């Protein structure tokens, strides 16, 4: 992995023993994948819900990202974007990247960002059990996850995905990545954080499977790793990135001891030579701050 971005927003050389985003060098240039950035302040993904009923970005989205690309050499990461029709079930006006209409609409966004001399990665998303029932019903979809464990007693119980569905989902991330490149993106960021589907396979708060997709650190890492491999094989590892949130409690997450699980996962991702690893700091839980203790630190990731 060539860089590490942490919220908010540290970048490090490949697993050096210190973050390099600080007040002495945040304005220094750095290469991330194929992008030569003029500084190290990255725009993190934020859901804006500015797509139409077909999940195609509206013109206001083009304007939104263009404004944030106004300083040449800036890296932007888009809001979470559905990888397939089956990955939906949450926000009806969230964007997608699984139809030609969506690809063409996104191209207006990327063209505008590039005209400012900046760069943009697309975040790829499957919501899994974090779907909302009314949105699922409207789309004619089932709530699925790694296991039949709901987020809480207030949420519906998801159906465990079959092996065939798992491999279909992996392929959908690769297809979405290709569509993203066709839409003009400089790369993609796999959303494996914040309690969405990939995170639901990674963490034992949700994953209770006893097959090759669960029951051990290695097996729980498999889904994430297979997606990362499929995407990097489709578009190149230097255009592939990933986001993780080892300590977040958002949407029913936070293993009792996340470090062994995420140390293994990061150590395996490292072999792929991805553009960057985006880590959410322990103090962040989705869209809110949380209390942390001294033992919660991302330092372990630097030595993974």
Instruction: Report the catalytic residues.
Output: 196
Q: Which residue has the tokens 């090759």?
A: 212
The continuous run of DSSP H or E covering 202 comes out as: helix 197-202
Burial class of residue 39 in the structure, from the number of CB atoms within 10 Å of its CB (0-12 exposed, 13-18 middle, 19+ buried): middle
| Sequence-separated (6 or more) residues with CB below 8 Å from residue 228 | 190, 240, 242, 269, 272, 274
| Contact of 296 with 282, CB cutoff 8 Å | yes
183 closest CA partner among 78, 255, 75: 78
Distance set, CA 195 to CA 59, 127, 140, 204, 205 (Å): 30, 8, 22, 11, 10
CA dihedral sign of residues 154, 285, 282, 11:
positive
Angle separating helix axes 100-115 and 59-68, nearest 10 degrees:
30
10 Å Cβ neighbour count for 100? 11
Specify the 3-state DSSP secondary structure of 180: helix
In whole angstroms, give the CA distance from residue 107 to residue 250: 32
């Amino acid at each position: 992995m060539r860089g590490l971005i942490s919220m908010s927003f540290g970048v490090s050389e490949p697993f050096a023993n210190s973050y390099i985003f600080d007040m002495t060098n945040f304005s220094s240039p750095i290469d991330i994948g194929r992008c030569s950035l003029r500084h190290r302040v990255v725009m993190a993904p934020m859901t804006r819900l500015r797509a139409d009923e077909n999940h195609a970005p509206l013109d206001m989205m083009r304007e939104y990202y263009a404004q944030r690309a106004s300083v040449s050499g800036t890296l932007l990461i888009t809001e979470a974007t559905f990888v397939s029709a089956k990955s939906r079930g949450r926000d009806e006006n969230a964007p997608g990247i699984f139809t030609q209409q969506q690809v063409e609409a996104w191209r207006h966004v990327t063209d505008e960002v590039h005209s400012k001399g900046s760069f943009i990665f697309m975040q790829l998303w499957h919501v899994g059990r974090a779907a909302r029932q009314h949105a699922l019903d409207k789309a004619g979809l089932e709530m699925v996850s790694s296991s039949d464990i709901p987020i809480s007693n207030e949420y519906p119980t998801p159906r465990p995905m079959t092996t065939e569905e798992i491999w279909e989902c992996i392929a959908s991330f690769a297809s979405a990545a290709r569509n993203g490149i066709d839409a003009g993106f400089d790369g993609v960021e796999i959303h494996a954080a914040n309690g969405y589907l990939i995170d639901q396979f990674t963490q034992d708060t949700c994953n209770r499977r006893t097959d090759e997709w669960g029951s051990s650190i290695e097996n729980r890492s498999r889904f994430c790793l297979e997606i990362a491999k499929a995407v990097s094989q489709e578009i190149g590892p230097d255009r592939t990135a990933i986001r993780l949130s080892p300590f977040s409690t958002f949407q029913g997450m936070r293993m009792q001891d996340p470090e062994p699980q995420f140390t293994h996962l990061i150590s395996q991702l490292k072999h792929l030579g991805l553009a960057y690893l985006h880590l959410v700091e322990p103090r962040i839980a989705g869209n809110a701050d949380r209390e942390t203790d001294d033992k919660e630190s991302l330092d372990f990731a630097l030595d993974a």
